[in-house]
Chains A and B, each alone.
Chain A
Amino acid sequence: MKRTPDVAPIVTALDRPNSYIGRSVPRPNLARLTQGRAQYVSDITLPRMAHVAFVRSPHAHARISKIETTAAKQAAGVIAVVTGAELAKVMTPWVGVLTHLKGIKSAPQHPIAVERACWQGEAVCAVVARTRALAEDACELVEVSYEELTPVTDAETALDPTTQVIHPELEDNLTFERKHEAGAPDQGFAQADAIIETTFRFGRHTGVTNEARSIVADWNPGEQRLTVYQGTQAPHMMQNLFAKHLGLEEHQVRVLTKDVGGSFGIKVHTYADEMATVALAKLLRRPIKFVADRLESFVTDIHARDHRVKAKIGVTRDGTITAFEIDDLTGIGPYSVYPRTSGIEANQVVNLVGGPYTCPNYRARARVVFQNKNVMCQYRAVGHPIATSVTEGLVELAAAQIGLDPLELRRRNLIPDDAYPATGASGIKFEALSHHACLAHIDSMMNYAGLRAEQARLRGQGVHRGIGFAAFIEVTNPSAAFYGIGGARISAQDGATVRLDATGALFCATGVTEQGQGTEAVIAQCVATAFGVPLERVRVLTGDTDNVPYGGGTWASRAAGIGGEAAWQAGKALRANVLAAAASILQADPKKLDISNGVIVDADNGRERIGLDEVARVVYFRPDTLPPGFQAEMVATRHYVPRGYPFAFTNGIQASYLEVDTDTGFIKLLKHWCVEDCGTVINPQLVDEQIRGGIVQGIGAALFEHCVYDERGQLLNGTMADYLVPMAPEMPDIEVGHVVTPTADSELGAKGAGEAGTAGASGGIMNAVNDALRPLGATPITEIPMTPDVVLRALNKI
């Protein structure tokens, strides 16, 4: 284990002659993206392409008694007007359940509502026209008669016997329930000197991607083949689902995903309107484009995080945590989202609460219920911000109660750095974490003692500043334990194919995808380093189910750790193949040769022997000169899936420093720190920016982002004017530090880094606000977003 303040170290095992591991090389796609030469789905135009717009339900729950389409069909430029019933003949419905989430249930969902609309914004009719504008004009001419039904909106009462059951065939509104008990929680609480019990509330919010969801589907009857251009995180998963629900073989579907303008988990699900677009392309036998606009994004992109957690911690006077208990309730909309289900976030909350600590006593219950709001599902750092805020909120409330410094309380309870492998109270397995090293690092990095002194001094002047922490663990590099064992056809393994071209450059096709986060750079770094060429000699292809190895794509912080390892291994394998060819050309021992900076060299002294271009020339154009019986193989493919542990947990700690204007309830963020341990850092700049971007999304949740629904199930702020995303002027400086504990599960040793920032930010900020307000006798705040309303109420000013 090694601590570094800013730049991550080069790990020796990976320190090849021209190593790019641990270097902040610019991403190869930067110029393409910054010059506006990227290829987003919106940029795709095909011959005979038509556009679809959807008529969407204005009601949260309503029976569709009649859809009158005559006028719309006659409108200018209209090609077809298609209802849910008509489309149901083309595409089968789906049910979002997985077998490893015992008892989870959901109802069949159609691409377009049939008979009943279950949330405001659900598509009830499709209009296909020459342009999107004409399609929207005609949407206004579709007359839908609705019979309003009572909407179920409050998760708290969704299970009451008097509440209407949304899907009568399911008998109740319970989607999923999990109970867990470990150690002896009752005994733990009995031993405690102080028990803190409170309720945390997390606002429903969404992930606002720069590029909206978009898809172009093209059915070619001549080939009997569907080509789909889609901004998605998981092309192979989508290939499977399109095929399955259209009654096609997988090889009849090709999914192409070029540049994607941000995903954050939003683009890893099955969306009814995207499925409808694909079905319409098959029905109408022509390319159809659908690009969600901002208004429909707010009511259809998955929401997340709407949780109410009753929580309890026991602690002794000397600062030993004796037990944790939680009761989580979350409302996920009318359907469990396909195919990953909407039970995962609550399941994660149960898995992760108390995770950084040694305390073995834990009781948890999570209930997931249906309601008539937009669907909820996995969004960046699934469940982590909930579990971290609950755990860390309790820890700081406990510290305040017993009068112990909050960092010191953590020091006394975090799993020791030399205690691994270890198992958490929820049963999760840790290979090797570094909580104490991270805590020590952040302590010195932020000058904690100095900040406390400054805080006290300013307090005397009526300035109320707060310091808050959040230690966290993050699930990364998932094995099949996440989805595969539950029956979902979502690949946990990933592959890379590396090919030497005829001039000695490399071409790498990878199953992981680029969402704007820099996957292409990381894959190129792994290949260039493993093989031995300058970075610019590696070209990376992603997102094409016809041409990349079968893989899972980008989610759960897996692209670098899993895709990177596959690329690393493929690069090594191709190096061995190329050295075999070079050795036969040079009549040398391949073991005594290496490749450095694009040249075959003597391994021991680096003397240049022959260029890669020359090897390629001989292999491709003069194979007749090679010894008889020698066949050069200039393509190598390798796959990787973590086998040692179900997940490569990472860990870290964040700290927030802020000032509360106690007159207005406004919160000003002054500074944020994060020290994290994602194992081997392949590209420090990309890791730091993942952390920073993640923190900014956590800040969004803490202070701004909230999908506000009324009791009728109407979203009240579904525009960019009213839904507040975090913006630059309100963001603090964010300092990132690293501790490096590589995973032994892979040679590269890289774990994921994509979600750590989001995992801890909101909890740290909540703790800092409470730290600022505590001396004023405020009621502790246990809900986010912390709006002026919330803060002023805590201060008893309104």
Chain B
Amino acid sequence: MKPAPFAYAKARSLDHAIALLDGAPDARVLAGGQSLVPALNMRLSTPSLLVDINGLRELGEISRRNGHIEIGALVRHAQAERSSAIAQLAPLLTQAIPHIAHPAIRNRGTFGGSIALADPAAELPACLLALGAEIEVTGRTGRRSVAADEFFKGLFETALGPGDVLTAIRIAVPGSAARFGFAELARRHGDYALVGLAAAGTVHGGGLADVRLAFFGVGDRATRARQAEAALESGNLDAAVAALQHDLSPHSDVHASAATRSHLAGVLLRRVAAQLDSST
């Protein structure tokens, strides 16, 4: 379990990082290294060059601007977990982050790394879907913003191109009627979820509007359950649970069968719906 040989370069600036990436099409960004380094050791990934972005301080900040909270790509999970700005303006994240791995991994692992990796069972991609976040990408042609709904393309596949660096995540500051819910089931504490659900909605009249249900662990990527969202907006929880049969296509693996995942998704939907309701 030793990595194949690779070159290493420490980026001095974002431009430098992009230039380095540009020079080697199979280069990889090194952020917290918590996913990339094991992949290198198992030779699942054999890039010729690692571009280390850990020195880019400007990517490590959490700030509030123009009605958004902006989270830099290099913000560590642990830093986000403790952030009072995030607790206040994006409480869904504060709820979700303790489920990511273990403290030692959260100390190194980064926000951007989790989003860029797009593990189908990871918490943060689903949270971004539920929050309708914008993902800022910087590449050779400059900066662009991608909506979370457009960002996750498939199994470990995203809208990031070869020379791109994910630089920040932007989340609109929620209004007072916004409600959030989060739950996941993992065999052991800190494991990737068997099934998880990050949800958001707005209290509207007696019910919920703008419901966004983002499941993880039940497909090749974090997935919105759109029919279930509609059913929940119309106040029919049973119909929402039934709709998951159409919305989700869970897989079987060594940890759980597709039938179990499907059943658990329904259980989680009931639990999270109660959270959305009880927080009214």
- The complex places the Cα of A726 from the Cα of B187 at a distance, in Å, of 10
Contact B42 A133 (CB under 8 A): no
The stretch of A270-278, A545-553, A659-667 that contacts the partner chain: A659-667
Cross-chain contact A133 with B194 (CB below 8 angstroms): no
Whether B5 pairs with A708 at a CB distance below 8 angstroms is no
Specify which of B1, B4, B189 lies most central, judged by the most chain A CB atoms within 10 Å of its CB.
B1
Q: When A788-B194, A792-B263 are in contact, do A727 and B254 touch as well, CB less than 8 Å?
A: no
Binds B, one of A19-27, A111-119, A677-685, A716-724: A716-724
Residues of chain A lying within 8 A (CB to CB) of residue B238 = none
Docked CA distance A767–B264 (Å): 24
Q: Is the CB of B188 within 8 A of A704?
A: yes
Q: Which residues of the partner chain B approach A730 to less than 8 Å between Cβ atoms?
A: 188-189
Which B residues from 43 to 102 make CB contacts under 8 A with A? 43
Contacting pair B263 A724 (CB below 8 A): no
Q: A295-B42, A717-B254, A792-B260 are in contact. Are A704 and B4 (CB under 8 A)?
A: no
A778 to chain B, nearest CB (A): 15
Per-residue B-contact encoding for A186-202, CB less than 8 Å = 1, 0 else: 00000000000000000
Choose among A131, A663, A708, A788 the residue that contacts B254 (Cβ–Cβ < 8 A): A708
Contacts of A293 in B (CB 8 A): 1
Q: Are B185 and A132 closer than 8 Å at their CB atoms? A: no
- State A669–B254 Cα separation when bound (angstroms): 22
The reply to whether A294 and B1 contact each other, CB–CB distance below 8 Å, is yes
Q: Which residue of B lies closest to A665 (CB)?
A: B260
Query: Which residues on A sit within 8 Å (CB–CB) of B264?
Result: 664, 788
The answer to the question of B177 belonging to the interface, with a C-beta cut-off of 8 Å to chain A, is: no
Pair A704/B189 contact, Cβ less than 8 Å = no
**Looking at chain B, what size class is its interface with the partner chain?**
20 to 34
Q: What per-residue 1/0 map shows which CB atoms of B178-192 lie under 8 Å from chain A? A: 000000010111111
**Which residue in A131, A140, A727, A798 is a CB contact (below 8 Å) of B260?**
A798
Residues from chain B with a CB closer than 8 A to the CB of A708 are: 254
- Taking CB atoms, residues of chain A closer than 8 Å to B187 are 704, 724, 787-788
The chain B residue sitting closest to A132, CB to CB, is B2
Q: Which of A632-681 contact B (CB under 8 A)?
A: 663-666
Q: For the complex, what is the distance from the CA of A792 to the CA of B257, rounded to whole Å? A: 11
Cβ-based interface call for B256 (8 A): yes
A557 to chain B, nearest CB (A): 29
Compute how far the CA of A137 lies from the CA of B256 in the bound complex, rounded to whole angstroms.
Answer: 35
A740 to B18, CA, bound (A): 71
A32 within 8 A of B: no
- Indicate which residue in B3, B185, B257 contacts A798 across the interface (CB closer than 8 Å): B257
Q: B5 to A798, Cβ gap below 8 A? A: no
User: A355 → chain B, closest Cβ, in Å?
Assistant: 33
Q: Is A789 an interface position by the 8 A CB rule?
A: yes
Does B267 have its Cβ within 8 Å of any Cβ on chain A? yes
B5: which A residues are within 8 A, CB to CB?
Answer: 133, 137
Beta-carbon contacts under 8 Å, A117-143 to B: 131-133, 136-137, 140
- With A136-B2, A724-B188, A727-B189 known as contacts, the answer to whether A789 contacts B257 (CB < 8 A) is yes
State whether the Cβ of B259 lies closer than 8 Å to any Cβ in chain A: yes
With A and B bound together, what is the CA distance between A133 and B262 in angstroms? 43
Q: How far is the CA of A132 from the CA of B255 in the complex (A)?
A: 33
Which chain A positions have C-beta within 8 A of B2? 131-133, 136
Contact, CB under 8 Å: B260 / A722: no
A132 to B3, CA, bound (A): 10
Q: How far is the CA of A131 from the CA of B1 in the complex (A)?
A: 12
Given contacts A295-B1, A789-B256, contact A729 B188 (CB under 8 A): yes
The answer to whether A798 touches B42 (Cβ under 8 A) is no
Q: Are A137 and B259 within 8 A (Cβ)?
A: no
| A77 smallest CB distance to B (angstroms) | 11
The complex places the Cα of A666 from the Cα of B264 at a distance, in Å, of 11
Q: Which chain B residue has the least Cβ–Cβ distance from A297?
A: B1
Contacts of A140 in B (CB 8 A): 4, 43
Cα–Cα, bound, A51→B192 (Å): 35
Which of A137, A294, A719, A788 has the largest count of B CB atoms less than 10 A from its CB? A788
A663 closest partner in B (C-beta): B267
* Distance from A213 Cβ to chain B, minimum over Cβ atoms (Å): 14
Residues of B within 8 A of A798 (CB): 257, 259-260, 262-263
Complex formed: what's the CA distance from A797 to B263 in Å? 8
Contacting B at CB under 8 A, from A726-779, are 726-727, 729-730
Contacts of B1 in A (CB 8 A): 136, 293-295
Chain B residues with CB under 8 A of A787: 187, 255-256
| Nearest Cβ on chain A to B196's Cβ, whole angstroms | 12
- Taking the closest CB of chain A, its distance from the CB of B102, in whole angstroms, is 9
Q: B56 CB to closest chain A CB, in angstroms?
A: 29
By a CB distance below 8 angstroms, the chain B residues around A137 are: 4-5
For residue B3, which residues in chain A have a CB less than 8 angstroms away from its CB?
133
Which of B38, B43, B191, B262 contacts A724 (CB under 8 A)? Answer: B191
CA distance A131 to B5 in the complex (A): 13
Please indicate the chain A residues that have their CB under 8 angstroms from the CB of B254 in the complex.
706, 708, 716-717, 722
A contact residues around B4 at 8 Å (CB): 137, 140
**Chain A residue contacts of B259, Cβ below 8 A:** 789, 798
Complex interface: chain A residues within 8 A of B257 (CB): 789, 798
A788: chain B residues within 8 A (beta carbon) = 185, 187, 194, 256, 260, 264
Residues in chain B near residue A664, CB distance under 8 A: 185, 264, 267
Question: A530-580: which have CB < 8 Å to B?
Answer: none
Whether B260 pairs with A789 at a CB distance below 8 angstroms is: yes
B259 → chain A, closest Cβ, in Å?
4
With A and B bound together, what is the CA distance between A131 and B192 in angstroms?
A: 34
Which of B185, B253, B262 is close to A666, meaning CB atoms less than 8 Å apart? B185
CA A13 to CA B42, docked complex, whole Å: 57
A335 and B260 CA atoms in complex are apart in Å by: 36
User: Complex Cα distance A787/B252, Å?
Assistant: 13
Report B1-29 residues with CB < 8 Å from chain A CB.
1-5
* Docked CA distance A394–B164 (Å): 61
Cβ contacts under 8 Å, A295 to chain B: 1, 42
Which chain B residue shows the least CB distance to A292? B1
Q: Considering the chains assembled together, what is the distance between the CA atoms of A136 and B42 in angstroms?
A: 11
Query: Smallest CB-CB separation from A76: which chain B residue?
Result: B5
Task: Please report the C-alpha to C-alpha distance between residue A140 and residue B189 in the assembled complex, in whole angstroms.
Answer: 36
Tell me the complex Cα distance, A797–B255, Å: 17
Between A and B, 21 residue pairs with Cβ closer than 8 Å are: A132-B2, A140-B43, A295-B1, A663-B267, A664-B267, A666-B185, A704-B187, A716-B253, A721-B38, A721-B192, A722-B254, A724-B188, A726-B188, A727-B189, A730-B189, A787-B187, A788-B187, A788-B264, A789-B257, A789-B260, A798-B262
Ranked nearest first, the 5 interchain pairs of A and B with the lowest CB-CB distance are: A133-B2, A293-B1, A729-B189, A798-B259, A717-B254
New A-B contacts (7) at CB < 8 Å, excluding given A727-B189, A729-B189: A294-B1, A663-B267, A704-B188, A706-B254, A724-B188, A724-B191, A788-B187
Residues of B within 8 A of A (CB): 1-5, 38, 42-43, 185, 187-192, 194, 253-257, 259-260, 262-264, 267
